[in-house]
Structure 1
């Protein structure tokens, strides 16, 4: 457990920008061939950065129908798996539940619940990286932006506009791809840094 000082938001914004993955390092998985290739590539990884995105709800009482996207990342690449409104492809479900695979991310309780509620996927080895930090103020939790600032001294900028965009689309915009891929990749990088002490 890493004991840390919670860095104020304005102080984080003054840090150098965190350089995330670029589009050539991102694969948007849109057909069976790409799915098979991605699953084969990821099958031997012991740890992957992980996140999900859901189409936002805007009306009171409206039930979420996500997740609509699953993101996985290794050391140098990220894969985006759009789920739309359909079922989760069996190869992806099998990959996520593969024995020996740890999925590292931030604030994963809602991801776990949504995957269970929508797809019945339950056998996931999720590692919530926020639990690897402890602030001097125990009421505060650590998310990706705070973790990057603390470990790398950099500002991981996240767009609110992109975060609340429509994630149920099969064809994601470039800004959506960059946002989603880097959420998973940052989780991998943070996990990697924590392993190194």
Structure 2
């Protein structure tokens, strides 16, 4: 089987591809009320599988500690919800989602995200699927991140703004660029999950 794997696209190849179409602002919800949190939890649990990622304020000084994660994002196949961690009133909802083994949370390169979540919430996340590990299981030896995965399975270029990557995710008011960036990291993960033929029992 390993000999029949399509080769991973190189950076130069990816640059030539048409952009991946992500979620627009109208499909992105920032959880701001108790009703928002309840709606998000209900929709996410109903989906059974969601894309998942986190964002943390970047650190630039040698011994600076991030204090993250500052944003947790979940995406279904048509919508995304962003939880800002300064809103402590939603932490119980987040802990329930993170601790649910019945809700599969698929993402890329989640080791550091999960470490920060353990520190922040004092819980062990359940039902987490790192898609990089799935690609390795299928025979790929190199790490496969979201850009490479999207190029491989959709022949599309996943655009990640460096400005958004290094922006302050601890800000109370996120910019439109931050909203799109965070939501589509999670959205791309659920789309790749589906394209790989995986299901909630994986």
- Per-residue deviation, 1:136: 7.5
Distance in 2 between residues matched to 1:132 and 1:123, nearest whole Å: 18
State the SS of the aligned residue for 1:63: coil
d(CA) in 2 for partners of 1:54, 1:149: 25
Residue 24 (structure 2) pairs with residue 33 (structure 1):
no
Q: TM-score, normalised by structure 1?
A: 0.92
Cα shift readout 1:106-141 (whole Å, capped 9, x = no counterpart): 001011100001211213221010112249872x21
Say how many residue pairs are matched.
196
Q: CA deviation at 1:5?
A: 1.4
Q: Is the 8 A contact 1:68 1:85 kept in 2?
A: no
Distance 1:82 1:64 in 2: 15
Q: Does structure 1 residue 102 correspond to structure 2 residue 104?
A: yes
Corresponding residue SS for 1:195 = coil
CA contact (8 A) 1:46 1:101 kept: yes
Tell me how far 1:62 sits from its aligned partner. 1.0
Taking structure 1 as reference, are residues 45 and 23 closer, same or farther at Cα in structure 2, changes over 3 Å only? same
TM-score computed with the length of structure 2 as normaliser: 0.90
Q: CA RMSD, aligned part only?
A: 2.1
Gaps of 5+ in 2: none
Asked if 2 retains the 8 angstrom alpha-carbon contact of 1:4 and 1:133, the reply is no
Alpha-carbon offset, residue 52 of structure 1: 0.3
2:123 maps to: 121
Aligned to 1:8: 10
Aligned-pair distance for 1:84? Answer: 2.6
- Cα contact 1:15–1:153 (8 A) shared by 2: yes
> How many Å apart are 1:43 and its aligned residue?
2.4
Give the Cα separation in 1 of the matches to 2:100 and 2:127: 9
The verdict on how the C-alpha distance between 1:137 and 1:167 changes in structure 2, with shifts beyond 3 A counting, is: same
Residue aligned with 1:158, SS: coil
Distance in 1 between the 2:27 and 2:131 partners?
Answer: 23
Q: Which structure has the highest helix share of the two?
A: 2
C-alpha separation between the residues in 2 aligned to 1:48 and 1:153? Answer: 22
